[in-house]
């Protein structure tokens, strides 16, 4: 845990915060005589903004690498109503200051060092005349694009980005995919289709029909699942030993959210049949709440609450390295752990529900349900990771929040992973670190609250310094992000996840 020196402390109090604010803070009376100060100590996460540009109407965005084995992201694909645009990282040499508006600000001593900027580009093979539901890299330097009407498989961008294969059979309402080439999409009538996409083209594997229309999908693979057997790696002719990019893992589960249904379904993707088998039906409301709704016709507020369906899903393996992103320390008492498989469900009313996903004696189940209110707007969930293996989840909305694993509770070691301890840290635009460390400031620096509609992790050393403050010899890195609200696009890096922020107000 983080420790802040602020003594001598004469008094301290913990002000009550609104229930929707998941951020702890303490006010202390520190020092004495003319050196006395008031200090506000909080555990939120500050985002250091590198650049901002006015781009209204972004409905979604994704990072894209030039090749699958590249460590750095090259393109930021943005989806709008009826069109798709691409911003690409270009290298500059420090002379053209205006072109650096979306790049890193350099010091005078670093004027001759190259830096990057984002400029609008055209990617061959991508359909730019329609909204995009998903874009991502695949093994073999392939690129996958899913639009509202079709699946497009594009060849290596370095070789011209030729369209290799397409699939179309009516409008697509929701889509999800991963780097192993697994694709899930829904069509009108609750139809869910499952594909495998790769060097052999687009192959339809299975189809199933849900009781209601699909609201959201996710098939992000768990990275370590000892209970479900060994993870299956995708065959790759390339030598993986020559790169730090790991071979993608096949997901074994597909999470499905439905409209007018307060449940999430888990479907088994390990099937040889033409349909997907439902292995778990997860109720997002408790049975007691459902019984109260049936018995009490005078409870419109609770009925409305139960009608807030899943709007975003995230399957992810959380580990402890994310809890101290810049130093890579294990916060579980030095005990190595494979992490905890989690399912996060973002609702339309700003609530977030989480479950631990486990399997015992061959039966899949979810445990340790937790529910928090993060705001009032719908939540989208974005998994974040670092090359060092840290992982956490960003929840968008009017109070964007990073969720990470802080510990594991429970009894016997075999059951400990059933009760993960999660921490929720609000994200704000922070003042500069120099201001926060300045003992002579007379009023607190502003920490601007930001609203985030969509976000994407974006790693590029030409745009971000993600190793600042990591310490000598450290290979760990901070999380660099692109976030967008209704009117603008911001690029920035978030602070250490467990860093305590101290705001000092001098009284003398």
pLDDT per residue as tens digits for the range 97-140? 444 446 555 444 444 455 778 999 999 999 999 999 999 999 99
- Confidence grade of residue 195 (pLDDT, cut at 50, 70, 90): very high
Which among 453, 463, 382, 481 is positioned nearest to 102, based on CA atoms? 463
The tens digit of pLDDT for each residue in 168-193 reads: 999 999 999 999 999 999 999 999 99
Q: Which two tokens stand for residue 210?
A: 């849900």
Q: What is the pLDDT of residue 444?
A: 44
Q: What is the pLDDT of residue 448?
A: 66
Lowest-pLDDT choice from 22-36, 108-122, 126-140, 219-233: 219-233
pLDDT at 469 over 70: no
Lowest-pLDDT choice from 10-19, 299-308, 341-350: 299-308
Q: What is the pLDDT of residue 151?
A: 98
- Confidence grade of residue 432 (pLDDT, cut at 50, 70, 90): very low
Mean pLDDT of the chain: 79
- Domain 9-506 matching CATH 2.60.120.370: the answer reads no
pLDDT at 453 over 50: yes
Between 466 and 334, whose confidence is greater?
A: 466
What whole-number percentage of the chain has pLDDT above 90?
47
Q: What is the pLDDT of residue 330?
A: 45
Strand order across the 37-42 sheet: 9-13, 25-30, 37-42, 501-506
Between 34 and 313, whose confidence is greater?
A: 313
Spatial neighbors of 412 by CB under 8 A, at least 6 apart, are: none
pLDDT at 239 over 50: no
- Confidence grade of residue 416 (pLDDT, cut at 50, 70, 90): very low
Q: What is the pLDDT of residue 8?
A: 64
What whole-number percentage of the chain has pLDDT above 70?
69
144's enclosing H/E stretch is strand 142-147
Q: What is the pLDDT of residue 473?
A: 46
| pLDDT (mean) for 369-380 | 93
**DSSP helix/strand/coil, 457:** strand
Between 106 and 144, whose confidence is greater?
A: 144
pLDDT at 485 over 80: yes
Domain spans in the chain, listed from the N-terminal domain onward: 9-506
| pLDDT (mean) for 249-266 | 94
Lowest-pLDDT choice from 18-32, 123-137, 199-213, 375-389: 18-32
Centroid of chain to Cα 328: 19
- Confidence grade of residue 245 (pLDDT, cut at 50, 70, 90): low
Spatial neighbors of 381 by CB under 8 A, at least 6 apart, are: 312, 313, 314, 344, 346, 393, 394, 395, 396
- Confidence grade of residue 253 (pLDDT, cut at 50, 70, 90): very high
**Dihedral of the alpha carbons of 230, 236, 237, 242, in degrees to the nearest 10:** -90
pLDDT at 210 over 60: yes
| pLDDT (mean) for 148-165 | 96
Q: What is the pLDDT of residue 224?
A: 60
- Confidence grade of residue 229 (pLDDT, cut at 50, 70, 90): very low
Spatial neighbors of 375 by CB under 8 A, at least 6 apart, are: 20, 350, 397, 398, 399
Q: What is the pLDDT of residue 153?
A: 98
Q: What is the pLDDT of residue 4?
A: 52
Between 393 and 410, whose confidence is greater?
A: 393
Lowest-pLDDT choice from 232-241, 373-382, 444-453: 232-241
Spatial neighbors of 114 by CB under 8 A, at least 6 apart, are: 91, 92, 93, 94, 462
**Quick check: 8 and 390 in contact, CB under 8 A?**
no
Q: What is the pLDDT of residue 39?
A: 80
**DSSP helix/strand/coil, 291:** helix
């Amino acid at each position: 845990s983080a420790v802040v020196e602020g003594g001598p402390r004469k008094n301290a109090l913990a002000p009550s915060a609104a229930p929707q604010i998941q951020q702890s803070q303490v006010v202390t009376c520190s020092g004495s005589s003319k050196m006395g100060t008031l200090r506000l100590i909080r555990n939120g996460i500050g985002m250091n903004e590198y650049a901002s540009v006015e781009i209204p109407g972004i409905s979604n965005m994704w990072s894209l690498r030039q090749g699958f084995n590249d460590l750095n992201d090259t393109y930021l694909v943005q989806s709008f109503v009826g069109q798709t645009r691409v911003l690409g990282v270009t290298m500059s040499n420090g002379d053209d200051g205006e072109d650096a508006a979306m790049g890193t600000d350099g010091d005078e001593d670093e004027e001759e060092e190259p830096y990057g900027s984002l400029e609008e580009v055209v990617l061959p093979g991508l359909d730019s005349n329609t909204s995009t539901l998903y874009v991502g890299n695949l093994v073999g330097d392939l690129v996958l694009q899913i639009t509202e009407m079709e699946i497009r498989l594009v060849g290596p961008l370095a070789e011209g980005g030729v369209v290799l294969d397409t699939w179309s059979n009516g409008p697509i309402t929701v889509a999800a995919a991963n780097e192993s080439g697994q694709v899930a999409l829904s069509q009108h009538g609750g139809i869910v289709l499952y594909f495998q996409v790769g060097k052999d083209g687009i192959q339809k594997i299975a189809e199933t029909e849900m009781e209601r229309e699909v609201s959201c999908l996710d098939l992000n693979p768990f990275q370590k699942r000892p209970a479900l057997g060994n993870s299956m790696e995708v065959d790759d002719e390339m030598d993986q030993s020559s790169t730090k990019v790991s071979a993608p893992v096949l997901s074994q589960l597909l999470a499905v959210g439905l409209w007018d249904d307060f449940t999430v379904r888990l479907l088994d993707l390990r099937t040889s049949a033409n349909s997907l088998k439902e292995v778990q039906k997860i109720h997002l409301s408790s049975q007691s709440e459902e019984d109260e709704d049936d018995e009490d016709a005078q409870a419109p507020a609770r009925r409305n609450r139960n009608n807030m369906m899943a709007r975003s899903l995230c399957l992810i393996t959380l580990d402890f390295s994310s809890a101290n992103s810049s130093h890579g320390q294990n916060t579980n008492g030095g005990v190595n752990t494979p992490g905890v498989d989690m399912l996060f469900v973002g609702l339309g009313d700003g609530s977030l529900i989480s479950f631990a996903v486990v399997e015992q004696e061959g039966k899949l189940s979810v445990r340790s349900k937790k529910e928090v209110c993060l705001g009032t707007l719908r939540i989208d969930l974005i998994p974040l990771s670092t090359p060092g293996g840290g992982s956490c989840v960003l929840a968008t909305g009017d109070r964007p929040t990073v969720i990470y694993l802080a510990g594991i509770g429970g009894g016997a070691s075999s059951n400990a992973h059933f009760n993960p301890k999660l921490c929720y840290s609000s994200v704000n635009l922070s003042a500069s670190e120099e201001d926060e460390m300045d003992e002579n400031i007379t009023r607190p620096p502003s920490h601007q609250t930001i609203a985030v509609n969509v976000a994407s992790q974006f790693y590029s050393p030409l745009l971000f310094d993600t190793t600042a403050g990591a310490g000598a010899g450290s290979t760990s890195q901070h999380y660099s992000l692109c976030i967008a609200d209704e009117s603008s696009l911001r690029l920035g890096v978030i602070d250490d996840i467990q860093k305590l922020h101290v705001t000092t107000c001098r009284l003398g």
